[in-house]
Amino acid sequence: MPAELIDGKAIAATIRGEIRDAVAKRTASGLRPPGLAVILVGENPASQSYVRSKGKACREAGFHSVQIDRPATITEAELLALVDECNNDAAIDGILVQLPLPRHIDESRVIDRIDPRKDVDGFHPVSVGNLVLDKPGFISCTPKGIQELLVRSGVETKGKFAVIVGRSNIVGKPMAALLMRKGRGGDATVCVCHSATPDLAAVTRQADILIAAVGRAEVIDGSMLKPGAVVIDVGINRVEDPAAAKGYRIVGDVAFDSASAVASKITPVPGGVGPMTIAMLLQNTLESAVQHDTAE
């Protein structure tokens, strides 16, 4: 029997509806709407597309949304000063600097400059430290979205063996910490695999939950899965295909057809993890606004 699809698009739409309702209640009670500032440097087409999607989502949720565009020639000092302006703006609850940045700018220095209280991307060292130490704080949007997909799809994580393929700072590492946390969507036994893992398939075949986040097209296939495993595909890869309308196809890190014949549940690409990332960005920004209400 083919695997059940985990519809990230539908789940994200539900969450965005919940956020929209919460924002409406805020504004009806006289509170200001949550504010998100997105800083876009340069003219990377993919980054421009992501930023447009985030802006649209903010407007639909009733947020105060600010997009700040700067040329790729901006200096690091100018960008840091821009981040400071957003840090000091009381109408802004979340700051997102769209990556990647031009090579002459130190991304770590820019991320470190964001006020941790406005780090809705969850990339600041304080946010990462809070996650690892199991303290309150903002969680990186993609791992948080994956956890929400699992919970809302009825996937039990407690006591399960979860294998993450990929050790990036954006997905792999925070995902491992999140799944190990006690409580909702956690309490899993976690293994992180990477380029130096010998016999990857021997490990992935043991996984009750497999999360593929390696950035290589269809590197995981059905022969590498445990029957009945839950598969979360984080990858978005462009594969040339002359037969396709655009001359290419978008595929994940998992070979969908062979994997869906073995798995019990699986996310599609696109329409799986991607929509959840933006939903979690909105959720983090709303949470930041609520925290700022308390602090004021």
Active site residues: 54, 98, 121
Indicate the DSSP class of residue 254. B
Single-letter amino acid, residue 228: G
Cα torsion angle, 28, 31, 32, 36, sign? negative
Q: Percent helix, strand, coil in the chain (nearest 5)?
A: 40, 15, 40
Cis bond upstream, residue 242 (ω within 30): no
CB 98 within 8 A of CB 47: yes
Report yes or no: 144 and 178 within 8 Å, Cβ to Cβ.
yes
Q: Which two tokens stand for residue 79?
A: 């960008």
Tally Cβ neighbours within 10 Å of residue 91. 12
Asked if residues 121 and 141 have their Cβ atoms less than 8 Å apart, the reply is yes
Distance CA 209, CA 226 (A): 9
Distance CA(173)–CA(228), nearest Å, equals 25
Q: Are 154 and 278 in contact, with CB atoms under 8 Å apart?
A: no
Beta bridge partners of 237: 251
Residue closest to 128 by CA, chosen among 96, 182, 172, 193: 172
Q: Angle 45-61/274-295 helices, nearest 10 degrees?
A: 50
